[in-house]
């Protein structure tokens, strides 16, 4: 009985000693979690108005883990748990993981830069890392493109952030560069007027800037005409295809020849 009384007294003593600290730690944990959730919601509301949803979700997750870890360490210290060694172990583990994942960390940093500075966005057509395609997703480590022939290309973000990149869909209009060759025996002015009338009749061709039709080069077997109309970006390829087909048909109707490389062979017979 004496031993039981001693244990009870010791238990009461421990409760009296640590109960205030434990109660304060519980209150701190509850209030801290409430404040963290409020802070994260406030931050999410601000970020969603200015940045990509992918970046908002990532910042929310990262901030949530960091703040809650700090809160738990603080609460542990309040109840007398030694956290110095624990923090040192976490720091060493973080350093080791960082060294092992240098490539992924580079992709991660590049992903953040892409999401913040927006050199391209989902839905844009880009030419980067040797591929041309429509941006389907911008993730933290990679960007996913869909090529015109419907192939899925997954590109590390560092390849896009650290190398030249063309955002084909960034501007509302594009210039369509085409070259049509006519023979040296054809009338240049007639050919230019035919192309001009075709461009004027096509509603997709913009009036301003005005199309350019000019002699580009006196080539080996043809006079090359440069044709440079401006169109809405969405109409680029369809106009390009239509013009090549329609110019060929009109030239055939008007008797204008589109030459192709050929060689004349002259045979000389020696007389005895």
Strand partners, 145: 135, 153
Burial class (CB in 10 A: 0-12, 13-18, 19+), 127: middle
Distance, in Å, from the CA atom of 180 to the CA atom of 215, rounded to the nearest integer, reads: 10
Backbone φ and ψ of 251, nearest 5°? -60, -40
Widest Cα–Cα separation across the chain: 145
Q: Over its length of 272 residues, how does the chain's per-residue pLDDT go in tens digits?
A: 556 666 666 666 655 666 677 778 788 888 888 998 888 888 888 777 776 666 677 677 778 878 888 888 787 777 766 666 666 666 766 666 555 556 677 888 888 888 888 899 889 999 999 999 999 988 878 899 999 999 999 999 999 999 999 999 889 999 999 999 999 999 999 999 999 999 999 999 999 999 999 999 999 889 999 999 999 999 999 999 999 999 999 999 999 998 877 666 777 777 66
Distance, in Å, from the CA atom of 67 to the CA atom of 60, rounded to the nearest integer, reads: 10
Using alpha carbons, list the distances in angstroms from residue 1 to 6, 7, 9, 15, 103: 9, 10, 12, 21, 67
Place of tokens 């923090």: 87
244 Cβ contact list (under 8 Å, min separation 6): 178
H runs (alpha helix) in 79-144: 84-100, 102-117
């Amino acid at each position: 009985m004496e031993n039981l009384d001693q244990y009870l007294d010791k238990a009461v003593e421990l409760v009296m000693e640590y109960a205030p600290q434990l109660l304060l730690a519980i209150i701190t944990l509850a209030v801290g979690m409430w404040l963290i959730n409020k802070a994260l919601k406030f931050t999410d509301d601000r970020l969603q108005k200015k940045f990509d949803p992918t970046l908002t979700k990532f910042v929310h997750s990262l901030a949530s883990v960091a703040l809650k870890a700090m809160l738990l360490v603080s609460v542990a210290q309040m109840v007398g748990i030694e956290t110095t060694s624990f923090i040192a172990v976490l720091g060493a583990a973080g350093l080791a993981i960082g060294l092992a994942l240098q490539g992924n960390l580079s992709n991660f940093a590049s992903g953040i830069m892409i999401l913040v500075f927006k050199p391209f966005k989902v839905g844009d057509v880009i030419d980067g890392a040797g591929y041309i395609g429509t941006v389907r997703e911008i993730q933290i480590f990679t960007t996913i493109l869909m090529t015109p022939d419907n192939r899925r290309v997954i590109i590390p973000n560092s390849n896009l952030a650290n190398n030249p990149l063309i955002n084909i869909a960034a501007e509302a209009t594009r210039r369509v560069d085409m070259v049509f060759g006519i023979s040296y025996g054809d009338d240049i002015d007639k050919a230019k007027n035919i192309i001009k009338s075709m461009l004027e009749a096509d509603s997709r061709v913009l009036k301003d800037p005005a199309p350019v039709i000019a002699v580009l080069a006196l080539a080996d077997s043809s006079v090359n005409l440069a044709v440079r109309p401006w169109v809405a970006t969405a109409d680029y390829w369809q106009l390009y295809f239509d013009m090549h087909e329609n110019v060929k048909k009109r030239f055939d109707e008007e008797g204008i020849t589109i030459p192709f490389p050929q060689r004349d062979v002259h045979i000389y017979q020696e007389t005895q």
